[in-house]
Amino acid sequence: MKLTLKKRFLPWVLCAAVLSLSSCKTQLAPEYDKAIVAGLTDATQKTMYFFATMEEGTTAETYTDRALSYNQLIGAYDALSLQAKARPVPDNVATKKINELLQSKGSDPLSSDYPSAFAFTKISETLKKMREVDQTGGIKPFALLAFKGQVLIFLDQAITYESFLKR
């Protein structure tokens, strides 16, 4: 158990060491962007409303009632992903070392360079899959909870990251 704990915390210890050895003025993350946060806030509210309208489940016959909402939400998250990726990522030794460490532990490169863009892309992919299921056979309430849970995980990641950048 101790060996597993050491392996689990090794990346964080190494990150802390790299950070402590780097210059105090080193920027490790992109700049805060008020437009991305405003878009995220709006998309989050619309997404939660969309889920609330379907909490009893859906049928394929009523899919056309929701088609526009799917398309609007998917478009919003794709646009947010594009905006987040357009921000310059700091290019310094500390950032490179942290990303190398994260990638050696199996992290997706996009998720470490652009965490919120990665989350926005995953939300869009989830909504696309949800739309496909809804269109072909409807969504049962339990399946809807699974889709919502996955979207909530990535929304939490994006909101947390974007809030961190504001500091």
Q: Domain span at residue 47?
A: 30-88+109-166
**Dihedral sign from CA coordinates of 131, 134, 136, 139:** positive
Query: What share of the chain has pLDDT > 70, as a percent?
Result: 66
In a domain, 16, yes or no: no
In a domain, 140, yes or no: yes
Q: How far apart are the C-alpha atoms of 83 and 77, rounded to whole Å?
A: 10
Cα dihedral 93/97/100/106 (nearest 10) = -140
What's the pTM?
0.74
Query: What share of the chain has pLDDT > 90, as a percent?
Result: 56
Domain count, the chain: 1
pLDDT value of residue 97: 54
In a domain, 81, yes or no: yes
In a domain, 98, yes or no: no
